[in-house]
Amino acid sequence: MIIKKILRVIFSFVLLALLGANSNSAAQEKLTVSYSSVDASTSIWYIAQEKDFYKKYRMDVESIFIPSTTTGTAVMIAGQIKFGSGTGGMIANAAVSGANLIAAGCFFNTLVYDLIVQESIKTKEQLKGKSIGISRIGSSSDVAARALLKGLALEPDKDVAVIQVGGSAERAAAFGAGKIAAFPATPGAVNLTKGMPYRVLTSTADSAKPYPFPHICPTTTKTYLAVNRPTVKKLLMALIDAAHFFRTHKDESKKLLAKYTRHNDEAYLDAAYNGAARMMERVPRVTREGMEIQLKEALARKPGMNLRVDDLIDDSVVSELDKEGFIDKLYKQ
């Protein structure tokens, strides 16, 4: 009789333990993340959602499209979203204003942009007095436009007006309508100009080495990372998995790119995919050199601040995942 009671008690404990285990395995951490572009370089954010990589790592994630890194950064600073896509420029500008944003990793550490101009513009002198279209001030297209113009010894805003137009498709449309004389284009975006005559006046690819710039960076605050490191680790695992998918599943990735950009032009999709796949980081650490450039420019606008590059970067979770063999295991599948 006593043995039966003991067995019943043991069975009850085992049953409760199993139920608790099942409950824990079913529970998924809820979070909202943001991304600011639908271009191929940013596709890992919606691929992670579409292919259930967040769920794979027990995350219930809602991805929100905020069509500007400037706005997305402001939302993160306000604490409304804890994790999202940022750039080195936005992180540096936020830091000199007192925000504690950091890049937790970076999937693109350079800018790959062509300077598309009207066919009649054959020299840099002919670009003077005209306008170049970007998405928004402080965005990666803004950084690219200014870098491309300076490479031609032209002064942004003084020699060439820098105008906010919108994303790649909007810039191509404005160019096709003759509203702007030039625009920085990511790989393939020029195919969206619908036959408008153009020429490539210069490209970041013309440089002796790639222009260093932390471009597509999983971004959060120092505070959030310190308190929620396991969560950040799972988010980065999902994004690294999405990057692996992008690099190894071209056709499916192009279909998702077409869905989110709402463009089915094969020349655009192919060029956009190839350009992004070539530059996407396998181990997404952050370029210190690129962040140094952005920090110097930000400090020049707000002198007196005492900041170092390491104040803006904490990619230790990426290093941890690399050391643990997580990334190598993905690519051996």
Look-up: residue for tokens 């956009």? Answer: 272
Instruction: Report which residue type is found at 70.
Output: T
In 3D space, the residue among 274, 270, 279, 112 whose CA is nearest the CA of residue 205 turns out to be 112
pLDDT of residue 1: 43
The Cα angle at residue 183 between residues 177 and 189, in degrees rounded to 5: 85
Q: Which of 193, 216, 212 is nearest to 204 (CA)?
A: 212
- pLDDT at position 27 is 57
CB 165 within 8 A of CB 95: no
Half-sphere exposure of 168 (CA within 13 A, CB side): 27
Tell me the DSSP string of 196-214: --EEEEEEGGGSSSPPB--
Distance, CA of 150 to CA of 202 (rounded, Å): 11
Burial (CB < 10 A; 0-12, 13-18, 19+), residue 246, is buried
Please, are residues 204 and 290 in contact by the beta-carbon 8 Å criterion? no
Burial of 136-166, coded b for 16+ CB within 10 Å and e otherwise, reads: bebbbbbbbbbbbbebbebebeebbebbebb
Q: What amino acid is encoded at 97 in this protein?
A: S
Q: What are 287-310's pLDDT values in tens digits?
A: 999 999 999 989 988 877 889 999
What pLDDT digit, counting tens, does each position of 238-286 carry?
999 999 999 999 999 999 999 999 989 898 999 899 989 988 999 999 9
Per the structure block, which two tokens stand in for 52? 């259930």
Strands (E), the chain: 29-35, 59-65, 83-86, 101-103, 114-118, 131-134, 161-164, 182-185, 198-203, 217-221
Each residue's pLDDT expressed in tens, for the chain with a length of 333 residues: 444 433 343 334 333 333 444 434 345 678 999 998 898 999 999 999 999 999 999 999 999 998 877 788 888 988 899 999 999 989 999 999 999 999 999 999 998 888 999 999 999 999 999 999 998 877 788 888 998 998 899 999 999 999 999 877 788 889 888 899 999 988 777 777 777 788 889 887 677 777 899 999 999 999 999 999 999 999 999 999 999 999 999 999 999 999 999 989 898 999 899 989 988 999 999 999 999 999 998 998 887 788 999 999 999 999 999 999 999 999 997
Q: What is the DSSP letter of 285?
A: P
Q: Would you say the C-alpha torsion 31, 36, 37, 43 has a positive or negative sign?
A: negative
**Secondary structure letter of residue 68 according to DSSP:** -
CA distance linking residue 195 with residue 100, whole number of Å = 45
Residue 102 contacts residue 221 (beta carbons within 8 Å): yes
Q: Are 42 and 106 in contact (CB under 8 A)?
A: no
Distance (Å, rounded) from C-alpha 102 to C-alpha 76?
Answer: 11
The reported pLDDT for the residue numbered 302 is: 81
Per-residue tokens: 82: 């804890």
